[in-house]
Each structure stands twice: as C-alpha cells, then as structure tokens.
A and B are shown apart, each in its own frame.
Chain A
C-alpha cells in the first residue's frame, strides 16, 4: 500500500473512528485489514487522534484511545458516531464496478453482489438498473471462461481468429497471458506462435478457442500491450474530409490535422491495415477524398463489393 496523503489519512480516520467506536474493542489486526493499513500506520494515526477533541481540549474533552492486548477502543467521539456520507464519485465507482461484474459474469440474481448493489443504490437515491448501465461488448461467456481458465492453467489454446485489419481468418496457437477488458472491448493478450511475437486479440473476433494438451512458461512480467501501435514504417494516407465527416479526426488517432476552406479538414492517418482503410473509405463515400496516398483503394473495393449485387 503506497503512503497516503494527509487528506487520505483523514478520510480513513473518519471512517475508522465510528467503526471502532461502535464495537467493544475490535482486534487491531482486523482494523488494519479492513482499512488497508499496517500496524505502525494505524498507531501513528491513533497517536494523533488522541490529542484531538473539542475546545478547550481539557482531558475530559479529548477523544479517548486505548490499545491493550491487541485490541483497540475509541470513546468520547459521539460527533463521529457515523461515517461520512458517500460522495457521488464514491457511489458511482462502486455501482459501475458492480454492474460491470454482473454484466460479465452472467448475473447474480439475488446473490450477495446483486443485493449489496441494490442497497447501495437505494442509499444513493437511485435504482441500480436504471441509473448506470455498462456494456462491455458482446462476448460469448463460454469463450471468456475457456480463455480465463487457460490463462490460470498456463495452457496453450488454438483460436480461430478473424483479423479485422487484414480481413482474414486463421487458426493460431497462442500462449494466453491475460484476459481483460479495456475501452469497452475484451482482449486476450499472449504469445502468438503463428507470427512468433506478442499479440493482442479482440475476443469478439475469436470464433472458437480450443484448449490444447500443452502448457507454457509464463513470462515473469507479461508485457503491457496496447491495442494500437503505429509504426514509423507504416504507410500513411492523407484525406480531405467534408464538414459532415469531421468526426473521423475525433474517432481515430490522426497524426496531422489542418483546417481547409469551408469547414473541410485535412487529416493524415496511419493506415497499416488495408482492410481498415477500405472500410473507412467505403463508409465515408463522397465525404472523403484521398489527397496523398493510394487513391484507387475505395473504387477497387467498391467494385469488389458490387459483385455481390450482380446476377
């Protein structure tokens, strides 16, 4: 636990005092476990607390702190009888965390999390299902379960994966390091034996995952992979966008943005993956013009798609 600031210590004390005061000498180690501190940290805080109280700070006006036989008592602090109310940020953090877990574990109807969240939301004056909703992308639960247990067992898996950027499907054997959700999508990170490198896979693009008989040695510190790593060698494309397509500059990492006449925008994007650029240009249609880079991509892609609509 990193060292707390004075404000954080105050926050902890204001919660700890009523908890201890309402009990008859709870164990010091229980107090430490509950409030996430070491014994010396707790003693340091209590050392200060017991100089505190009300004007004129005569002994009868001070908070009484007693530690004996591994137990602790706090008395004469009636004004601290209850913890500080939850702030909106407190409440939101807990409700969002709880809703996320419910959304990804297939629910917990009537279980402890479900009940706890309902009580918490009630105390905040909201209905838990109606105030906060979390969606982390549609992912089959059994797939998540398979991948998670493969991570836990350091077991290799074969995945049937659709590469969105290359528009290609292939079977790959991976050593899965971690399953996590970031930015609203689920990912599995790991070593891909097909490319002999670390890769991040979006789980909604995994069609099937089959655990193999073989295990692998987990690296001591699995690398932090990010979903998008532009490379200096990746090709760039510069587009001129209509005012109605300016959202492209908000939505995608752009390297350069210049205003052009009439509310038009000129942006330079990294286009390492041809299928990604095809999709973008097909969707933008007449709202975008390629001013630097391969200019025939959209036309070629459009002709390929039109084949489906003929005959």
Chain B
C-alpha cells in the first residue's frame, strides 16, 4: 500500500469483520464477484460456506441471500439458476452470472459523443429513469467544458412522462420478442416495433396478431402486465414503420380529401399541425386552405370544431353537408334563421 496525500489513505484491515457487522455493499460485491467468476453454478450451500457476511444459521442465510439476489436482478444483473450436474447431482440447482450476458457490449463512444449524450440526459428527464446509471456504464459523465468543477446542474428543459410498461416493451422491441397484454378488455398478442411519444402519450406500434395488421396501442390503456409470448428474434421488424398518422387518418372509412378554410388568426397553427404538404393555398387575407386526406370523418369533424367559428369545411359537398347536419342537430328546433340577427349582434359584443 502506498501512502497517499492526507485524507486519501486506504488501510487494509487484517481480519475480515465478523458477520453481521459487514457492510451490505461489501457482501454484495463479493456475491457478484463469486457468481461472475464461477465456471459452474454454485449451490446455496457453497455460497454460504464461501461468502463472509452471511449468518451461519440456514434460515437467516436463506432470507438474506434471497433479498440480495433480488436486489442484483433489480439492477439488471443476470443471476441464473441452473442444474449443477444432472449426472452426479440430479435435481440440485445452483447460481451463476454468465459473463456473456453480464458484460456490456461496448458501443465504443468517443468522448464528444459521450458528452453529447450526457448533455441530452441532463436536459430531458424521462419519468422514473434518469439515464445517469447508463452513463456510468458508458464511461461516466463527461462535462463539455473541462475542469474539475464542470457546469452546474442544468435545469431540465423537457420532461417526458413515464408509463408503467415502457421498459419491458422496449426490452421486447430490442430483442424482437412477441408480447401479450390486455388492451381495451381484450387479450392481444403483438410483435412490438416502435415506441412513440405524441400529444402527451406513449404509444406502441406493432403487428397485432388478432387483427392481422399494424395497430397503435396507447400504453396507459394497457390494463395488464406485459408478458413475453415468444423467445427472442421471433419476428423481423419492418424497415419503415409508419409514423403515427393523425386521428382523421386512423379509420377504415372511404378515403376523401377534405378542403378546409382556416382564418388568419389560426392559420399558422393549423398549417403547422397538418404539415406543409397539406397546405393548398395561402389567401391574401392571411387565411389558409388545407387539403387533408380523411378516412375517419368523426375525427376530422372534431378537428374542425376545435377552431370554433374560425374554420369551415369547404368541400367535398358530402363532408360539408355532414358538418351542417351535425350543427343543425345541435342547434335544435330554433332554426338558425330565427336567431340570426340577434347572434350577429352578440358577435359584435364579443370582439
């Protein structure tokens, strides 16, 4: 042992501490080391004899070991149970950590790449996961400006809500494992392709085996645990999973192109929302005409009604008539003609 600067010395204790007073961290490191080093599965008896820090009596050992084993698994450490040797000790199982599934596949990040990831992780917080542990594994945090102090904690600029099933679904996506879950009161079997976050919600896109086609599932409507339904590599991921379509294209109706007029005040927002490809023309008064492909008329009507009286359906006639019928039913028996003058006056007051 070399002697370090004051306050930085580490002294070796001659004798290991008696069990019970050993720090749990020390016990866990020894446990990981033993299981990772083992060439064959170690039985609980062997572990009890070899590892310091566990109580001698069998019951207490068993409880402590179970707790430690679960703690390791919660951290993602792959502790496996395997038969020790079926030929000589049939039925006896032991534990080990296979090196090939423990060790990180080093992505080989350059320092600037690690720094960029660190910056991203401090700017965006995904509920329930900080990304800090992941960065430790990849070589620790690298501040952009060097120096020991580094920049202060960056305020998060974006917070993404979590969802209960995000991690298991992402795990299934990455190993291409089919999954099963209950959605809208029905059991589904799905090849998971892609997670997306849109309008405040997480969605899973994948192949629904019942429906026989691609479907979107909102994660907060999954009402069961997500269970594995196959081994790894169970399907091929299609190369271009469609981006999530807007609600008015999520339907099985006959496809139509709706023409909408949105007044100047709302025009920029509307054009940004439907995308530049749907803009047919900007009018001199600042309003915009949009041409939107529609397969779900209810959703289109909801979209247009969101603008209140700042937008209208120009055509085709059947969509315009749909809207007029909908509004007339709501307007009730007093036909619009009756109140027309009075409402005009009311409108004046509003502006």
Contacts and interface: CB of A to CB of B under 8 A. Distances in A.
Interface in B259-286: 265-266, 268-269, 272-273
A78 B184 CA distance: 51
A249 interface: no
B45 interface: no
Nearest to B77: A84
A9 B26 CA distance: 11
A211 interface: no
B5 interface: yes
Interface string A23-37: 000001111011110
A295 to B, nearest CB: 11
Contacts of A7: 71, 74-75
- Interface size class for chain A? 35 or more
Contact of B327 (A9, A167, A180, A309): A309
A112 interface: yes
Most buried by B among A52, A120, A183, A305: A305
A306 B324 contact: yes
Contacts of B241: 130
Most buried by A among B52, B135, B136: B136
A264 to B, nearest CB: 18
Given A48-B29, A309-B320, A299 B331 contact: yes
Contacts of B2: 66-68
B30 A283 contact: no
Interface stretch (B58-66, B84-92, B250-258, B333-341): B333-341
Interface string B307-351: 011001000000010011011111110101001100110110000
B81 interface: no
A9 B136 CA distance: 11
B112 A112 contact: yes
B308 to A, nearest CB: 6
Contacts of A279: 305-306, 308
A94 B275 CA distance: 28
Given A100-B160, A181-B159, A309-B323, A133 B195 contact: yes
A172 interface: no
A65 B10 contact: yes
A227 B195 CA distance: 25
Interface string A13-44: 11110010000000011110111100100010
Given A43-B10, A49-B29, A305-B309, A283 B301 contact: yes
A278 B350 CA distance: 15
A167 B308 contact: yes
Contacts of A179: 157
B194 A79 contact: no
A94 B138 CA distance: 11
Interface string A51-92: 111111100000001111110000001011111111111111
A136 interface: yes
A53 B33 contact: yes
A70 B76 contact: no
Contact of A185 (B119, B131, B200, B308): B200
B200 to A, nearest CB: 4
A86 B134 contact: yes
B8 A184 contact: no
Nearest to B103: A82
Interface stretch (A121-129, A191-199, A234-242, A252-260): A121-129
A93 interface: yes
A100 B308 contact: no
Interface in A253-311: 275, 278-279, 281-283, 285-286, 298-310
Contact of B167 (A29, A39, A83, A88): A88
Given A94-B135, A131-B194, A48 B120 contact: no
Contacts of B323: 309
B137 A119 contact: no
Given A54-B34, A88-B171, A140-B272, A169 B52 contact: no
A123 B10 contact: no
Given A67-B4, A304-B309, A134 B140 contact: no
Most buried by A among B34, B124, B157, B198: B124
Cβ-closest 3 pairs across A and B: A34-B140, A116-B113, A87-B76
Interface of A: 6-16, 19, 28-31, 33-36, 39, 43, 45-57, 65-70, 77, 79-94, 96-98, 100-101, 104, 108, 111-113, 115-117, 119-120, 122-127, 130-140, 162, 167, 169, 178-185, 204-205, 207, 275, 278-279, 281-283, 285-286, 298-310
7 contacts: A48-B26, A54-B34, A66-B1, A90-B134, A97-B120, A184-B201, A306-B328
